[in-house]
Amino acid sequence: MKKIRVLIVDDSVLVRQMLEEMLSADPEIEVVGSAFDPFDAREKIKALHPDVLTLDVEMPKMDGVTFLKNLMRLHPMPVVMVSTLTEKGADVTFEAMDLGAVDFVTKPKINLVNTFEAYTQEICSKIKVAALVKKPMLERQYSRYIANLNAPPKVAKARSPLSKSAGTASAGQSSSPSKHSNKIIALGASTGGTEAIKEVLMRLPASTPPIVITQHIPATFSLPFAKRMNTVSEMTVYHAKDGQPILSGHVYIAPGDKHLMVVKEGGGYVCRLNDGPPVNRHKPAVDVMFRSVTQNVGSNAICVLLTGMGADGAAGMKEMQGVKAATIAQDENSSVVWGMPGEAVKLGAADYVLSLDKIPKKILELV
C-alpha cells in the first residue's frame, strides 16, 4: 500500500524531530522531509511532492498563514496546522482553516511522556484524514474565502438591536419573545466544522431560533471560536455557561472540555454543562447534546450534522428523527470529511441531505 508522504514545516529543530518520530511510527505514513521556514518549504514541495504538509503557525521570515495563502492560490494541497495553545494561536489557526487548512493539532510539549501515545494517535489520524481531501475541495474553500472577503454573504434580515457581548454571557442577556421561541436548532460538527459552522451562521438572521452547537475542539480554542463566530453572525454567539437561559436570536457553543446539554427548566430551556467521560471518544460529544435535545425538545427541534470525521452524532440524529424532529445532513461533495453526516445518511437518519450553501435556507424554511 502506498504510504502518505508528509513534509514537516516548523522553525523548531526539536519540534521537527518530535513530529518526525511520531509520524514515522505509523506504517502508513512516510516523512519525506522537513523544512525550517516557508522558503525552504517551497523548494522542498517542488522537489519531494508530499501528499500532506504539517505547517507551523508562527515562523520567521513569513508566518504560516501568509505562506498558506500563497500555497492555496498557487498549489492547493492538504495542510494540518500546528498551533500554540494561546488565544492568538487560536485566532491564527481559525484564519488558516478559513483559507483551506484541513485540520490542526496543538504544538507538542517537550514533556510529552504521559501523553506521547495519545498525541501520536491524534496527529497520525489527522494526517490520514487530510490525505483523503481532494484538490477541488481545497480550491472551493479558498474561492469561498476570497468571495467572503470581497462580498460578505447577506442574511435575510438586518441586525436586530441585540447586545453583542463577545463570546461570553452577560448578566443582562435578554431577547424579545419570538414566534419561534419553542424551536431549538441543534448543530454538530468536527473536521472542517469551524468553517462550515461559520458559513451557516453568516447566513442566518438575528430572528432565528436559538442554536446550540457542539464542535470537536480543544478547550483552549472554544472561547476564541465563539468570539470569532460572534463577529460574523447576526445572532449573538456565546461560549455556553452552565444554567444559561437559551433564548431566540442567540447561539451557544459547547466549551471544548464539557458536554453541552439542553434541559427544560421553569417554562424555558437552559444550557447544562456535563463533565462526564468522553462519548465516542469525544468531549464535548454531539450525541450527548442531540440526545438531551431529543428528550427535552422533541419534535420542536431541528437537527443539523455537518462535516466531520467518525460517527459522533449519527445515532443521536436517528433518535431525534424518531421523535419527529427535522434532520439535515451535509452532503458528501461539500463536506471536508463525510464521516459523521455520511454515517447519519447510512442510518437513514437524515430527512434532507444538502450542500453546505443550501443548509441555512432549509433551516429558515423549517422554523
Catalytic residue among 34, 190, 292, 335: 190
Number of H helices, E strands in the chain: 12, 14
Domain span including residue 89: 4-146
- pLDDT surpassing 80 at residue 366: yes
Q: Please give the mean pLDDT across all residues of the chain.
A: 90
pLDDT tens-place string over residues 55-78: 998 888 888 899 999 999 999 999
- Helix/strand/coil (H, E, C) string of 125-175? HHHHHHHHCCHHHHHHHHHHHHHHHHCCCCCCCCCCCCCCCCECCCCCCCC
Which member of 83, 216, 287, 335 is catalytic? 216
285, part of any domain: yes
Number of domains in the chain: 2
pTM metric for this prediction: 0.90
pLDDT at 211 over 90: yes
Predicted local confidence at residue 153, as pLDDT: 65
- Place 120 in a pLDDT band, splitting at 50, 70 and 90: very high
Among candidate residues 312, 331, 334, 335, the one labeled active-site is 312
Model pLDDT for residues 266-309, shown as the tens digit of each residue:
889 999 999 999 999 999 999 999 999 999 999 999 999 999 99
75 is catalytic: no
Span 318-347, mean pLDDT? Answer: 97
216 catalytic per annotation: yes
Look at residue 258 and tell me if it is in a domain. yes
Contact 61, 67 (CB under 8 A): no
Whether residue 233 sits in one domain with residue 137 = no
Q: Does 44 fall in a domain?
A: yes
Residues 6+ apart with CB under 8 A from 305: 187, 188, 189, 286, 313, 314, 317, 327, 328, 329, 330, 340, 341, 344, 350
Q: Are residue 250 and residue 311 in the same domain, yes or no?
A: yes
Mean pLDDT, range 83-87, rounded to an integer: 77
Please indicate whether residue 312 is annotated as part of the active site: yes
Question: Each residue of 136-172: pLDDT tens digit?
Answer: 999 999 999 998 888 766 564 433 333 445 465 543 4
CATH code for the domain of 88? 3.40.50.2300
Residue 34 C-alpha from the chain's centroid: 28
User: Are 48 and 173 within one domain?
Assistant: no
